[in-house]
Amino acid sequence: MQQQRTAERGKRALIAKSEGERQQQINVADGEKQAAVLNSEGQKTAAINKAQGEATALRLVAEATAAAVRAVGEAISAPGGQTAANLKVAQEYVEAFASLARTSTTLIIPASAGDVAGFVATAMTVLDKTRQAQAAAKA
Protein backbone atom coordinates (compact mmCIF):
# COMPACT_ATOMS: atom_id res chain seq x y z
CA MET A 1 0.00 0.00 0.00
CA GLN A 2 2.81 2.36 0.88
CA GLN A 3 4.43 1.72 -2.51
CA GLN A 4 1.20 2.49 -4.26
CA ARG A 5 0.85 5.85 -2.41
CA THR A 6 4.47 6.70 -3.12
CA ALA A 7 3.98 5.86 -6.80
CA GLU A 8 0.78 7.95 -6.88
CA ARG A 9 2.57 10.93 -5.29
CA GLY A 10 5.44 10.57 -7.74
CA LYS A 11 3.00 10.47 -10.63
CA ARG A 12 1.21 13.62 -9.39
CA ALA A 13 4.53 15.38 -8.86
CA LEU A 14 5.62 14.48 -12.38
CA ILE A 15 2.31 15.77 -13.81
CA ALA A 16 2.57 19.00 -11.79
CA LYS A 17 6.14 19.51 -12.97
CA SER A 18 5.11 18.84 -16.57
CA GLU A 19 2.20 21.31 -16.28
CA GLY A 20 4.57 23.92 -14.80
CA GLU A 21 7.06 23.51 -17.63
CA ARG A 22 4.23 23.67 -20.20
CA GLN A 23 2.88 26.89 -18.67
CA GLN A 24 6.39 28.36 -18.59
CA GLN A 25 6.86 27.64 -22.32
CA ILE A 26 3.47 29.18 -23.08
CA ASN A 27 4.36 32.29 -21.08
CA VAL A 28 7.73 32.64 -22.82
CA ALA A 29 6.18 32.19 -26.27
CA ASP A 30 3.40 34.69 -25.47
CA GLY A 31 5.99 37.21 -24.26
CA GLU A 32 8.05 36.80 -27.43
CA LYS A 33 4.91 37.21 -29.54
CA GLN A 34 3.92 40.41 -27.75
CA ALA A 35 7.46 41.77 -28.08
CA ALA A 36 7.45 41.08 -31.83
CA VAL A 37 4.05 42.78 -32.26
CA LEU A 38 5.13 45.84 -30.27
CA ASN A 39 8.41 46.05 -32.20
CA SER A 40 6.52 45.86 -35.50
CA GLU A 41 4.07 48.55 -34.40
CA GLY A 42 6.97 50.75 -33.34
CA GLN A 43 8.62 50.39 -36.75
CA LYS A 44 5.31 51.11 -38.47
CA THR A 45 4.78 54.28 -36.40
CA ALA A 46 8.33 55.41 -37.11
CA ALA A 47 7.85 54.91 -40.86
CA ILE A 48 4.55 56.83 -40.78
CA ASN A 49 6.13 59.69 -38.82
CA LYS A 50 9.06 59.86 -41.23
CA ALA A 51 6.77 59.91 -44.28
CA GLN A 52 4.59 62.62 -42.73
CA GLY A 53 7.68 64.70 -41.95
CA GLU A 54 8.98 64.36 -45.49
CA ALA A 55 5.56 65.26 -46.92
CA THR A 56 5.39 68.36 -44.74
CA ALA A 57 8.89 69.39 -45.83
CA LEU A 58 7.99 68.96 -49.50
CA ARG A 59 4.80 70.97 -49.03
CA LEU A 60 6.72 73.80 -47.32
CA VAL A 61 9.32 73.87 -50.10
CA ALA A 62 6.57 73.97 -52.74
CA GLU A 63 4.78 76.80 -50.93
CA ALA A 64 8.02 78.77 -50.61
CA THR A 65 8.83 78.23 -54.29
CA ALA A 66 5.35 79.37 -55.29
CA ALA A 67 5.68 82.49 -53.14
CA ALA A 68 9.07 83.24 -54.69
CA VAL A 69 7.71 82.82 -58.22
CA ARG A 70 4.77 85.12 -57.40
CA ALA A 71 7.16 87.72 -55.98
CA VAL A 72 9.34 87.59 -59.10
CA GLY A 73 6.27 87.92 -61.32
CA GLU A 74 5.06 90.94 -59.37
CA ALA A 75 8.52 92.51 -59.47
CA ILE A 76 8.75 92.07 -63.24
CA SER A 77 5.30 93.65 -63.66
CA ALA A 78 6.31 96.68 -61.59
CA PRO A 79 7.82 99.76 -63.29
CA GLY A 80 11.45 99.02 -64.17
CA GLY A 81 10.94 95.34 -63.47
CA GLN A 82 11.55 94.27 -67.06
CA THR A 83 14.86 96.15 -67.12
CA ALA A 84 15.89 94.59 -63.81
CA ALA A 85 15.01 91.12 -65.17
CA ASN A 86 17.10 91.79 -68.29
CA LEU A 87 20.04 92.82 -66.13
CA LYS A 88 19.68 89.78 -63.87
CA VAL A 89 19.51 87.36 -66.82
CA ALA A 90 22.63 88.92 -68.36
CA GLN A 91 24.42 88.75 -65.01
CA GLU A 92 23.52 85.05 -64.53
CA TYR A 93 24.65 84.33 -68.10
CA VAL A 94 28.08 85.84 -67.52
CA GLU A 95 28.47 84.20 -64.09
CA ALA A 96 27.57 80.77 -65.50
CA PHE A 97 30.29 80.96 -68.11
CA ALA A 98 32.80 82.32 -65.60
CA SER A 99 32.04 79.41 -63.29
CA LEU A 100 32.49 76.90 -66.12
CA ALA A 101 35.81 78.45 -67.03
CA ARG A 102 37.07 78.15 -63.43
CA THR A 103 35.98 74.58 -62.75
CA SER A 104 36.51 72.77 -65.99
CA THR A 105 39.10 72.31 -68.67
CA THR A 106 36.32 71.76 -71.19
CA LEU A 107 34.13 74.72 -72.05
CA ILE A 108 30.76 74.37 -73.71
CA ILE A 109 29.61 77.62 -75.24
CA PRO A 110 26.70 78.57 -77.46
CA ALA A 111 27.39 79.51 -81.05
CA SER A 112 26.71 83.14 -80.23
CA ALA A 113 28.71 83.35 -76.99
CA GLY A 114 29.86 86.86 -77.82
CA ASP A 115 26.30 88.05 -78.35
CA VAL A 116 25.11 88.51 -74.78
CA ALA A 117 22.48 90.99 -75.94
CA GLY A 118 21.05 88.38 -78.32
CA PHE A 119 20.89 85.83 -75.54
CA VAL A 120 19.15 88.29 -73.22
CA ALA A 121 16.71 89.18 -76.01
CA THR A 122 15.92 85.49 -76.51
CA ALA A 123 15.39 85.01 -72.78
CA MET A 124 13.14 88.07 -72.65
CA THR A 125 11.13 86.79 -75.63
CA VAL A 126 10.51 83.57 -73.72
CA LEU A 127 9.55 85.61 -70.67
CA ASP A 128 7.14 87.75 -72.73
CA LYS A 129 5.53 84.66 -74.28
CA THR A 130 5.08 83.18 -70.83
CA ARG A 131 3.47 86.39 -69.61
CA GLN A 132 1.16 86.45 -72.65
CA ALA A 133 0.16 82.83 -72.03
CA GLN A 134 -0.62 83.67 -68.41
CA ALA A 135 -2.68 86.68 -69.42
CA ALA A 136 -4.60 84.56 -71.93
CA ALA A 137 -5.21 81.91 -69.29
CA LYS A 138 -6.62 84.52 -66.88
CA ALA A 139 -8.94 85.92 -69.55
pLDDT digits (tens, 9 = 90+) for 33-88: 999 999 999 999 999 999 999 999 999 999 999 999 999 888 888 888 888 887 88
| CB-based contact 105:111 (threshold 8 Å) | no
Query: Mean pLDDT lowest for which of 5-9, 81-85, 102-106, 116-120?
Result: 102-106
Report the chain's mean pLDDT, rounded to a whole number. Answer: 83
| Confidence label for 99 from pLDDT (cuts 50, 70 and 90) | confident
> Which of 127, 125, 110, 117 lies closest to 90, judged by CA?
117
Percent of the chain with pLDDT over 90: 39
pLDDT of residue 65: 96
**Type of residue at 2:** Q
Question: For residues 71, 74, 80 and 81, what is the CA-based torsion angle, rounded to 10 degrees?
Answer: 60
State the Cα–Cα distance between residues 131 and 46, nearest whole angstrom.
Answer: 45
- pLDDT score of 32 more than 70: yes
State the Cα–Cα distance between residues 83 and 89, nearest whole angstrom.
Answer: 10
- The model's pTM is 0.48
**Type of residue at 124:** M
